[in-house]
Amino acid sequence: MSKFWSPKVRELTPYVPGEQPRERLVKLNTNENPYPPAPGVEAALREFSADHLRRYPDPESRALREALARELGVEVDQVFVGNGSDEVLALAFQAFFCHDRPLEMPAITYSFYPVYCRLYDVERRALPLDAEWRVDLEAFSPDAGGAIFANPNAPTGHGHGREAIAGLLERITESVVLVDEAYVDFGGESAVPLIERFPNLLVTGTFSKSRSLAGLRLGYAVGSRELIEGLERVKDSFNSYPIDSLASAIGIAALEDREHFDACREAVITTRDRTRTRLEGLGFRVLPSQSNFLLVHHPEQDAAQLFVGLRERGILVRHFNTEALSGWLRISIGTEDEMDSLVEVLEGLCR
């Protein structure tokens, strides 16, 4: 530790992202989309004039927000954009959760949430999942300082339907409920239509997964005008120009190609369901998933050893070295050929 660090920095345990290997591997560890972005994205890259880069981008990202508003069926002033949903989430923590009441979240969920709590001195109250490894919506308290969860949940994959979310919002009315929909396009039901009924609902999303733009960094939030204004106040006190001109053009191009979007996500869903059946045939317990990954456990195999065995054979998955998840592997859904390779290797490792 450096003597120049502030006390807060010394206390931090940063989020650890999935490995980005330099060698060539079948990469099934970070929930990236196995298919390329929409063809219009490449066209936008070719046609973008470098002369645009000498000027600052639109601080309101108006064109991108308008495209998102059309896609989501909301008003433009109900949309906020940022550099990936991680940045949007960080701004939301500052805008809505920095007060004296605890923020409630599932004990097993996206592991960046506890990092934000430590960074912003937000008291965290972890709620256990139910017996089926689902987020227990009934466990959230109306008196908490807020609620946050991924839906579908990461890394478990289960998603609650819209009416279940509405039931939660009918109980929690005095604090913000943040629903992180990073994976909703792979079989979940979006809560976005509920923002008209519930002014305390904030829904976040990303272009990284179903839009195949993880390398670009684009995320968004949808909510009532008062919540979006809160995010804008924090953003403009931190970085007035978060979305660059090129990212905006690429994001719009991705949103305009609905046919490509539907084809890619349906391919992921089909491969996911096929892979689940095959893994169950090898003796794995596979949690039901509405995401682009599977969380799996083998009762007779050590998960850490399976992780190492797969990597030695050129396949990279995710093993979380935590007490709750040490016996599980999270497997991102790749192409059919990549998943065939995974199952073939596991057949040998599980003999």
Q: List domains and CATH numbers for the chain.
A: 7-36+259-350 (3.90.1150.10), 39-257 (3.40.640.10)
85 pLDDT above the threshold of 80: yes
Under the banding of pLDDT at 50, 70 and 90, the label for residue 232 is: very high
| Long-range pairs for 51-57: beta carbons < 8 A, 24 or more residues apart | 52/245, 52/246, 53/245, 53/246, 55/245, 56/241, 57/241, 57/243, 57/244, 57/245, 57/248
Percentage of residues in the chain having pLDDT higher than 70: 100
Q: What mean pLDDT comes out for the span 297-317?
A: 96
**What pLDDT is stored for residue 5 in this prediction?**
86
* CB-facing half-sphere around the CA of 158: CA atoms within 13 A: 18
Considering the entire predicted model, what is its pTM? Answer: 0.95
Q: What is the pLDDT of residues 94-113, one digit of tens each?
A: 999 999 999 999 999 999 99
**What pLDDT is stored for residue 2 in this prediction?**
84
Task: Kindly state the DSSP code that residue 344 receives in the 8-state scheme.
Answer: H
**What pLDDT is stored for residue 7 in this prediction?**
84
151 pLDDT above the threshold of 90: yes
**What pLDDT is stored for residue 81 in this prediction?**
98
**What pLDDT is stored for residue 20 in this prediction?**
79
**Among 298, 343, 338, 334, residue whose Cα is nearest residue 319:** 298
Instruction: Report the C-alpha gap between 113 and 101 in whole angstroms.
Output: 16
241 pLDDT above the threshold of 90: no
Under the banding of pLDDT at 50, 70 and 90, the label for residue 199 is: very high
Instruction: Report the C-alpha gap between 20 and 285 in whole angstroms.
Output: 27
